[in-house]
Amino acid sequence: MANTKEKREVGRSRAQNYIAEPSSAPERKTHAETVSKVAQLSGVRDKLYSEVVVGKATQKVYKVTVTSRDNQRAETIKEIMKSQINPDEIKVGIESIKTQRDGRVQMETSSIQEAEILENNITDKLGYKIETHMQRPRKPRLKIIQHIGGNLHKNIEDNLIAQNPEIGVGKGEIIPKFTYETKRHTRNVVIEVSAQTRKKLIDNKVKIGWINCSIEDYLVATRCFKCSRFNHRIRDCRGTETCPLYADNYNLKECKA
């Protein structure tokens, strides 16, 4: 028993000495600590993604798409336009011209005015051969909530301007589109406005008749009636005709993945 106790005490003393002794191996540093120390010495640090992209605004383009009325190939349409349309004469700068697989030709300009001039020139000279379509930016739509009444939406602009002069909305800035009834049996009015007018109205309350109404964005997901996918219309569709039920199941599978 005595020998066993002595061995235990010797083992404990060795363990204490081992723990107390500092290591003679050189101190290891992680890669992050090394990079941080180098950055401190050089005065340079890694930039965040938001800091890199700040001030780099992407150039906005306006697209004009043309298709043949007699099923001509995209390359043929392209050659016809180059022979009949002179960008120098109409003073339009073409950013790019691309042929699509579905037979369309797409041209891009840097301003909506140039796109309109190009579209009108193609229609005047080649309207009997080529059909044009310009992708115009859609104006914001707002909904006036809890509007109860009959045909008040027809004079919604006059009522809103007359009863809310502090907002500063002028004549012609509001275009009433339609009304719809909610599940709570209240009638909302959907209006179309410019981006500047939206800033004046959004998240505000306006007085219309005897009611104080709130205004919010009217958002509806755009869905194609051909391929049943979202974020485009049938005239811009490149997919195949698909059953909506099959498309919904396919989208659910994608969401689960």
Same domain membership, residue 145 and residue 110? no
**16 within a domain of the structure (yes/no):** no
Are 242 and 228 spatial neighbours (Cβ–Cβ below 8 Å)?
yes
Instruction: Give 71's contacts (C-beta < 8 A, 6+ positions apart).
Output: 103
| pLDDT of the chain, 257 residues: tens digit per residue | 555 666 666 556 655 555 445 555 555 555 556 555 555 555 555 666 556 655 555 667 888 999 988 888 889 989 988 899 999 999 999 998 998 888 889 999 988 889 999 999 999 998 888 898 887 777 889 988 876 555 556 678 888 888 999 888 888 888 888 888 888 777 888 899 988 888 888 878 888 888 888 898 888 777 888 888 777 777 777 778 877 776 555 554 443 33
CATH number at residue 193: 3.30.70
Distances (CA, A) of 68 to 39, 96, 151: 60, 19, 44
pLDDT of residue 15: 54
Tokens 């050189």 label which residue? 26
Domain boundary among 134, 160, 183: 134
Domain boundary among 108, 134, 160: 134
Please state the pTM of the whole predicted model. 0.49
**54 within a domain of the structure (yes/no):** no
Strand partners, 143: 190, 216
pLDDT of residue 246: 63
Quick one: tokens of 54?
């700040």
**53 within a domain of the structure (yes/no):** no
Cα end-to-end span (Å), the chain: 67
CATH number at residue 78: 3.30.70.260
**90 within a domain of the structure (yes/no):** yes
Are 159 and 208 spatial neighbours (Cβ–Cβ below 8 Å)?
yes
Are 84 and 67 spatial neighbours (Cβ–Cβ below 8 Å)?
no
Dist. CA 90–CA 67, nearest whole Å: 21
Dist. CA 253–CA 257, nearest whole Å: 6
Instruction: Give 117's contacts (C-beta < 8 A, 6+ positions apart).
Output: 90, 91, 92
Quick one: tokens of 84?
């009949």
Are 176 and 159 spatial neighbours (Cβ–Cβ below 8 Å)?
no
| Cα–Cα nearest to 113, from 136, 96, 130 | 136
Sign of the CA dihedral with 149 first, then 153, 154, and 159 last? positive
Alpha helix positions (H), 58-155: 74-84, 87-90, 112-126
**46 within a domain of the structure (yes/no):** no
**232 within a domain of the structure (yes/no):** no
**6 within a domain of the structure (yes/no):** no
Quick one: tokens of 236?
């811009």
Same domain membership, residue 128 and residue 194? no
Domain region containing 104 = 62-134
Distances (CA, A) of 30 to 26, 37, 72: 13, 11, 65
Dist. CA 213–CA 197, nearest whole Å: 17
Quick one: tokens of 105?
């030709």
Sign of the CA dihedral with 243 first, then 246, 252, and 256 last? negative
**148 within a domain of the structure (yes/no):** yes
Domain total in the chain: 2
Dist. CA 218–CA 99, nearest whole Å: 35
